[in-house]
Amino acid sequence: MPARRMEDRPERGQYTPMTTLVTSGAARKSLPEFKNESYLDFSKPEIRAAAQAALVQVRSEFEREHELWIAGAHRKTGDLLNSVNPSRPAEIVGRHHKASAELATLAVEDAHAYFPEWSRTPVERRVELLVRVAALIRERKLEFDAWLVVEAGKTWAEADADVSEGIDFCEYYARQMQRLAAPPELVQLAGERDEMVYLPLGAGVVIPPWNFPLAILAGMTVAALVAGNTVVVKPSSEAPTIAAKFAEVLLAAGFPPRSFSLCTGSGSVVGDLLVEHPRTRFVAFTGSRDVGLRINELAAKPRRGQIWIKRVVAEMGGKDAIIVDREADLDSAVAGVAQSAFGYQGQKCSACSRAIVDEAVYDEFLSKLKSRVEGLTVGPPEDPANFMGPVISAGAYRTILEYIDTGKREGRLIAGGAAVPSNAAAKGNDAAAGDGYFIPPTVFADVDPKARIFQEEIFGPVLAVARARDFDHALALANDSEYGLTGAVYSQNPDKIRRARESFFVGNLYINRKCTGAMVGAHPFGGFNMSGTDSKAGGPDYLLQFLQAKSIAEKL
Ligand code: NAP
């Protein structure tokens, strides 16, 4: 590689964070102990009424134009991205100006230029801003829920879980940053003072998916910010309105205008540019395996003027399995599988897409599962009676239906499988409801463990069930995957549970419960193998992804 030329170097002051202020814990304010945000109870008439009112408010903002927020200012390009309601694609939820290559470049360069100032902002101020963001979202919780219902096709309960998780990330990372701001205890050599302090990294790019469009977007963004980094957020093109609402909250909370940019635009157009820019210090990505691998590869190549190795935090796909042992409580296993497979239409990275069932209980399990799945209601999620809403987009709808066709060759269809909206979907309150991207919960039995529907992430309401000879065989099938995100085991046998703890190779293992629904603080979340870079969102180590440690030894 040619020697780096002097003019390629950034000015020292442009990237060197100040050690002392960043690590100061002097003004530490005590925050109450972290507690997960409670969920709203949508069975209560008053909550339902308030939810409907929030929906009316949100609908009144449909078709509004949303500008970009780049380098501390609103920007327009006139090149608009329409975000639609997947239950009624004719409805435009928001129109979003898309960043040009020039604006994306400006976003990174300004984030880099502003980094020294933000990194010197005392930790306590950054922590206070996170807590304020949490409070503002809490105040507007039903409104945020409603945006998720109309833009992401979430049911009210799923939407509320997403918003609650976003609040949890703010509250939890605020406390974790306070902890990390206090220098850890080191061995003290005779005649020295030995310390280690954490410094932020620099300007980062945050790239979230659409499936937790508030929680994951907020989590990655606030983690980077509270650690003292500046960020350029490139939201998913499927859920830009929620991102615009979150940006509003960051500003309202008091985040400095240049501490973050909202760089809406197509991943394939501005994504590479943001990742490759030599001033990008890190990329925090959550999304599919293929995009994650591409980002990892592009980020690994140093560009002219780049003086660091970019850090990539990538949280990627899953092909998550639930093992149902012959000694399981079968009703509870059926409930857990159905909930994990079909909650939010199977569009969770943690969704159960493989059920591996001991042959001794296989037929009974399938018959119970079939009747349970046939009772699941599908339709516009605005109606709280529906358990499942639409899949996110026309593209996802087509891909999932193609997998269902493949499944018909690879397994025995026992539920769903229709290529048209279900009857329940057509019961929506207007004719357009039938045009939504509704796919009924679909189950294939007798699937060969090497089949495509057993190995590839479908990311929709499709469950493949395979038969296992015994528990060891079930574990071997569960581990026969390139992914390693979540998994669950239903068994009453302590020895089998012990074996699962030891050898079920997933980042998040659940025993006798569903494999979705990770809670911030209790279930640090992230997977092995092609599921990502082994980070743990919502866990005590997560902020270290956005920090670097400096050791200081002073001779006394
Ligand atoms: P995706 O297609 O990979 O997109 C994720 C993000 O990457 C979007 O913002 C997308 O922007 C952007 N992007 C696309 N191409 C890019 C490029 N060349 N450079 C930079 N960014 C680019 O994934 P998705 O469909 O949104 O989300 C579903 C996937 O996420 C599933 O695989 C799921 O398992 C995974 N997921 C994982 C976790 C976890 O914690 N492990 C959590 C949630 C979801 P555009 O929208 O503009 O294309």
Provide the pLDDT for residue 29: 74
Residue pair 447/465 in contact (Cβ under 8 Å)? The answer is: yes
In tens, the pLDDT along 455-509 reads 999 999 999 999 999 999 999 999 999 999 999 999 999 999 999 999 999 999 9
Tell me the DSSP string of 123-140.
HHHHHHHHHHHHHHHHHT
**How far apart, in whole angstroms, are the C-alpha atoms of residue 329 and residue 512?**
8
Provide the pLDDT for residue 544: 98
Of the listed 171, 238, 315, 410, which one is catalytic?
Answer: 315
170 catalytic per annotation: no
Of the listed 170, 263, 349, 515, which one is catalytic?
Answer: 349
Q: What single letter denotes the amino acid at residue 415?
A: A
Tokens 């050791």 correspond to: 551
For residue 285, list its beta bridge partners: 207, 314
Provide the pLDDT for residue 418: 78
With the most atoms of ligand 1 within 8 angstroms of its CB, the residue from 151, 207, 232 to mutate is 207
Q: Is the CB of 194 under 6 A from ligand 1?
A: no
Tokens 């159905």 correspond to: 338
Of 248, 272, 270, the C-alpha closest to 260 is 248
CA angle 315, 321, 326 (to 5 degrees): 155
With the most atoms of ligand 1 within 8 angstroms of its CB, the residue from 237, 246, 349, 523 to mutate is 349
Q: Is the CB of 271 under 6 A from ligand 1?
A: yes
**How far apart, in whole angstroms, are the C-alpha atoms of residue 159 and residue 532?**
25
**How far apart, in whole angstroms, are the C-alpha atoms of residue 41 and residue 24?**
41
Provide the pLDDT for residue 425: 43
For residue 412, list its beta bridge partners: 445
Give the count of beta carbons closer than 10 Å to the beta carbon of residue 498. 10
Q: Is the CB of 272 under 6 A from ligand 1?
A: yes
Alpha carbon distances (Å) from 269 to 203, 404, 430 = 20, 31, 37
Question: In this structure, what token pair is assigned to residue 302?
Answer: 């140093």
Alpha carbon distances (Å) from 298 to 237, 291, 293, 301, 418 = 21, 11, 9, 6, 40
**How far apart, in whole angstroms, are the C-alpha atoms of residue 93 and residue 60?**
10
Tokens 């990294």 correspond to: 201
Provide the pLDDT for residue 205: 98
**How far apart, in whole angstroms, are the C-alpha atoms of residue 135 and residue 144?**
13
CB neighbour class for 461 (10 Å; exposed up to 12, middle 13-18, buried from 19): buried
> Measuring from atom 39 of ligand 1, which residue has the nearest CA?
315
> Measuring from atom 14 of ligand 1, which residue has the nearest CA?
267
The pTM for the full model equals: 0.94
315 catalytic per annotation: yes
Q: Is the CB of 349 under 6 A from ligand 1?
A: yes
Q: Which atom of ligand 1 is nearest to the CA of 531?
A: 41
Q: Is the CB of 460 under 6 A from ligand 1?
A: no
In tens, the pLDDT along 533-555 reads 999 999 999 999 999 999 999 99
Provide the pLDDT for residue 416: 96
Of 202, 13, 10, the C-alpha closest to 119 is 202
- CA of 103 from ligand 1 middle (Å) equals 21
Q: Is the CB of 313 under 6 A from ligand 1?
A: no
Tell me the DSSP string of 290-345.
HHHHHHHHHHHS--TT--SPPEEEEE----EEEEE-TTS-HHHHHHHHHHHHHGGG
Provide the pLDDT for residue 16: 53
**How far apart, in whole angstroms, are the C-alpha atoms of residue 291 and residue 297?**
10
- CA of 21 from ligand 1 middle (Å) equals 35
Q: Is the CB of 508 under 6 A from ligand 1?
A: no
> Measuring from atom 48 of ligand 1, which residue has the nearest CA?
267
> Measuring from atom 26 of ligand 1, which residue has the nearest CA?
209
Of 172, 237, 245, 255, the C-alpha closest to 214 is 245
**How far apart, in whole angstroms, are the C-alpha atoms of residue 393 and residue 384?**
21
Q: Which residues contact 29 (CB under 8 A, 6 or more apart)?
A: 124, 127, 128
**How far apart, in whole angstroms, are the C-alpha atoms of residue 37 and residue 169?**
10
Q: Is the CB of 162 under 6 A from ligand 1?
A: no
Q: Is the CB of 95 under 6 A from ligand 1?
A: no
For the chain, which residues score pLDDT lower than 50? Answer: 1-15, 19-27, 420, 422-433
Provide the pLDDT for residue 435: 81
Tell me if residue 169 falls in helix, strand or coil: helix
Q: How many residues does the chain have?
A: 556
Q: What single letter denotes the amino acid at residue 217?
A: L
Q: Which atom of ligand 1 is nearest to the CA of 287?
A: 30
Strand order in the sheet with 73-75: 73-75, 68-70, 260-262, 230-233, 203-207, 282-286, 311-315
